[in-house]
Amino acid sequence: MAPKNQPVGGQAPVVQRIRLRYAKRGPLRFTSHRDFARAFERALRRAAVPIAFSQGFTPHPKISYASAAPTGVGSEAEYLEIGLQAEVDPAQLRVALDAALSPGLDVLDAVVAGSGSLADRIDASHWLIELPAVEPGRAEAAVKAFTALDEVLVERMTKQGKRSFDARQAVARIAVTDQSAVPSEADGAPCAIIDLVVRQVTPAVRPDDVLSGLRVAAGLEPPVPPRVTRLAQGTLTAQGDIVDPLDADREPALPG
């Protein structure tokens, strides 16, 4: 995949941009964003991807990340964009990068970038929050109390110190799913599962902030750490669906 011609005394220009969707699964959900970035740059080298670099004394690969999930959170919908010095086939690139990354860091989709910004197409995220050892009925009562309030103030420690903000207004949808498990004879442990859609606001409201809001609103205190997975992110429609930000870059189907 290496480019044949590169200008002397400078970096080759970007001739193609590719947008990728990738997943963080299993134990690899504990990979930090910085660790993933290092792993991804190694994968680019292993796959001989003709990545473009910035100008200057310390050139950096042309990689832009969009709304990375927090460390410890699984995801099926992480996005990034890369600039290339030569054109490649997106499908072949996806396969090559997926093979070069560890299992659990999985490249799921690749498209040639169209016009507009990838970040501008992301205004909401869809999450699944599993609460082991929490009765579904207890979680439903907490969700009902949370949604009944106009404002739920929570606190989070930031680089600037402790900050208080509203976790309620960013929530577009929250419900306990039908897949929640009641105590069974097998293990006797219930597991409430919360379906959550959060709008992208400033400061960002994360699933742990919503869990803090459930504690504030109804005293819900999960006895064990929750398991959180991002299922999707993109544009939130009036119907409550989330549109994949890569959909606008796909070639329209030919009339048949």
In this predicted model, what pLDDT tens digit does every residue of 132-184 receive, in sequence order? Answer: 999 999 999 999 999 999 999 999 887 778 889 999 999 999 999 988 877 65
Secondary structure letter of residue 61 according to DSSP: B
Length of the chain: 256
pLDDT band per the 50, 70, 90 thresholds, residue 5: very low
SS3 content of the chain, % helix, strand, coil (to 5): 25, 35, 45
pLDDT, tens digit, 9 for 90 and up, residues 210-235: 999 999 999 999 999 999 999 999 99
CATH classification number, 122-242, choose in 1.20.950, 3.90.930, 1.10.3470, 3.30.70? 3.30.70
Three-class SS state of 164: strand
Tell me the domain boundaries of the chain: 16-120, 122-242
pLDDT, tens digit, 9 for 90 and up, residues 233-255: 999 999 999 999 999 998 664 44
Neighbours of 82 (CB within 10 A): 25
Secondary structure letter of residue 72 according to DSSP: T
Entry pTM:
0.88
CATH architecture of the domain with residue range 16-120: 2-Layer Sandwich (3.30)
| Three-point CA angle 88, 76, 178, nearest 5° | 150
Which bin fits 69, alpha (ψ -120 to 50), beta or left (φ > 0)?
Answer: beta
175/128 Cα distance (integer angstroms)? 10
Same fold, 16-120 and 122-242: yes
Contact between 40 and 106 under an 8 Å Cβ cutoff? The reply is no
